[in-house]
Amino acid sequence: MSAAVPAKPRISIIYASDMPVIDLPKVGGYPELASALHAYRNRNNASTFFLFGGNSLAPSPLSSLDRGTHIIDILNSLEPDAMAVTKREFSYFEDELSLRSYEAAFPMVASNIYDKRSEANVDGLLDTAIVEQRGVKIGVISVLDNSVISDYLLKHVIIRAPRVAIEQSAKRLREQNADIVVLMYSAYFPFIDELLDNKIVDITLTTSPELTKLSDEIMPTHTHAVTLGTLNQLAEVHIDFTDETSAEPLITWSIKELSSFPTDPIVEGQVKGYISRLNRLLNRPIAMVANDFQTYSSSVRTQENAFANTLADTIRTFANADIALINGGNIRGNRAYVKGQQLTRRDIAEELPFRSKVTVLNISGQQLKQALENGVSAVKQMKGRFPHVSGMKVTYDLAKASGERVISIKVADKPVQLSNIYKLATTDYLADGGDGYTVLEGCPRISLGYLDPPMIADIFIDSIQQQKTLGPSLDERLVNTYE
């Protein structure tokens, strides 16, 4: 009679994700996460792995200055066993992400990225990782979807088919004797339950805040599919092994609010140091709010918005252009402002965290119509491509098929002539074809006379500083006839 195989020790996985802003009040952040990790790691009855889901190197006012270096610095204090690479990690493109990976004292995993220059993964990233404690090996997979290419205009990488990459990676990890295979992901994949049912992977980890859930997205229902439903939470996953090698481990999990944990004084001091330096730059008042307005994502991505109107007007005036076009995804504050409120540089940095620059194009009426059709093509999905305009009035009908929704365009109160050429002010991101505006790539560029064009956030701050007030309004420049 053979001796029983000794049971492996119970292990725990702590998972957190989506933490680009380090000083959100009252909801819990990195100091509370550090405290939670300290408590879990000091338990004697379990080994604790910390897996960080990424989505955090941007956007934030501080990231716009250091391109995510402070997030890596704070995470180094928290000592993740591995970090997933998601779409936001590419906010400053492939080479900056590579630099961040070399600053990290932990593996950064991206399992389906191919860099055409190196004919391998992006330099510094790992296809997979195996992390081990007390004889238990966890294999880590992380995948992105192809939208990262168009959303961030990546020129050097290819996204391999996610499901194929997961299955191939899981097989390799099993061959390397991984006891548990974990998949981290941040996009909507309809096959997650099937992967778990077929035991391709043992656990999936994702964060899908309620504010971004769409009606056509069905979240996985498998008991091993861990989903954080709101930001600033952590998942506590427990894995109990039996003494039979063929028996499946028992996996249970629960969600905890980060705000329920005390703050860790060391990491709190680290965060305060960064915030203190940032405050010296950003807490200067620049204007007074003249009337109420808001920048909620549900507004800037679906309809005319007063703040977006003023931003588009500012860009058009600066460039001395006929018209202007920006995308709603460029505006990220997601908040309301009230009359009499003092605006600071921080407010604008949080509204416009990307390093977008003004670009001026010559565009035909036909190309303008194509651009606007793209802008209103995914309103129900609340995509960031929704257009905001200046110098024109656009009427569209969302009941019509995508590509046939723009009913009329007027510039200077005259119908657009498809063969006429107009001077368009926009962002470098859209001019390069971002958010599906590929038609703009073919438009001739007009020099502004700058060696390095100014950033839109700086132009906007200078404008409202001169006016001393900000009182944006709606004027029916975007009209949806189907409401």
**42-72 tens-digit pLDDT:** 886 678 999 999 999 998 888 888 999 999 9
Residue in 301, 274, 281, 475 with CA at minimum distance from that of residue 384: 301
Radius of gyration of the chain from its Cα atoms, rounded to whole angstroms: 24
- Using CA atoms, how far apart are residues 276 and 283, in angstroms rounded to an integer? 10
Token pair listed for 310? 């003023």
Residue at token pair 């100014």: 454
Residue in 281, 287, 339 with CA at minimum distance from that of residue 464: 287
- pLDDT at position 244 is 59
Query: At CA 248, angle to CA 242 and CA 254, rounded to 5?
Result: 90
- pLDDT at position 217 is 67
| Mean pLDDT value across residues 340-346 | 93
How much of the chain exceeds pLDDT 70, in percent? 95
Most confidently predicted of 109-123, 205-219, 231-245, 444-458:
109-123
Examine the pLDDT at 1 and tell me if it is beyond 50. Answer: no
* Superfamily for the 285-480 domain: 5'-Nucleotidase, C-terminal domain (3.90.780.10)
Choice among 11-15, 241-245, 295-299, 443-447 with the minimum mean pLDDT = 241-245
Examine the pLDDT at 422 and tell me if it is beyond 70. Answer: yes
β 478-480/47-52 pair status: unpaired
pTM of the full structure: 0.76
Tens-digit pLDDT profile for residues 359-396: 999 999 999 999 999 999 999 889 999 999 999 999 99
Per-residue pLDDT band for 483 (boundaries 50, 70, 90) equals low
Token pair listed for 102? 């070399």
- Using CA atoms, how far apart are residues 319 and 357, in angstroms rounded to an integer? 11
- Using CA atoms, how far apart are residues 357 and 453, in angstroms rounded to an integer? 6
- pLDDT at position 212 is 46
- Using CA atoms, how far apart are residues 51 and 80, in angstroms rounded to an integer? 6
- pLDDT at position 153 is 85
- pLDDT at position 4 is 47
Sign of CA dihedral 193, 237, 168, 243: negative
Taking the C-alpha atoms of 204, 210, 211 and 213 in order, what is their torsion angle to the nearest 10 degrees? 60
Per-residue pLDDT band for 3 (boundaries 50, 70, 90) equals very low
The total number of residues shown for the chain amounts to 483
Q: What is the mean pLDDT of the chain?
A: 91
Residues forming CATH 3.60.21.10 domain(s) in the chain: 11-276
| Mean pLDDT value across residues 238-254 | 81
Q: Nearest 5°: phi and psi at 250?
A: -90, 120
Examine the pLDDT at 125 and tell me if it is beyond 70. Answer: yes
> 237 near 252, Cβ under 8 Å?
yes
How much of the chain exceeds pLDDT 90, in percent? 77
Tens-digit pLDDT profile for residues 21-34: 998 877 889 999 99
| Mean pLDDT value across residues 73-101 | 95
Per-residue pLDDT band for 211 (boundaries 50, 70, 90) equals very low
Examine the pLDDT at 141 and tell me if it is beyond 60. Answer: yes
- pLDDT at position 279 is 83
Other C-beta atoms lying within 10 Å of the C-beta of residue 467:
15
Residues forming CATH 3.90.780.10 domain(s) in the chain: 285-480
Examine the pLDDT at 104 and tell me if it is beyond 70. Answer: yes
Per-residue pLDDT band for 183 (boundaries 50, 70, 90) equals very high
Per-residue pLDDT band for 230 (boundaries 50, 70, 90) equals confident
Residue in 435, 341, 425, 428 with CA at minimum distance from that of residue 381: 435
CATH no. for 11-276: 3.60.21.10
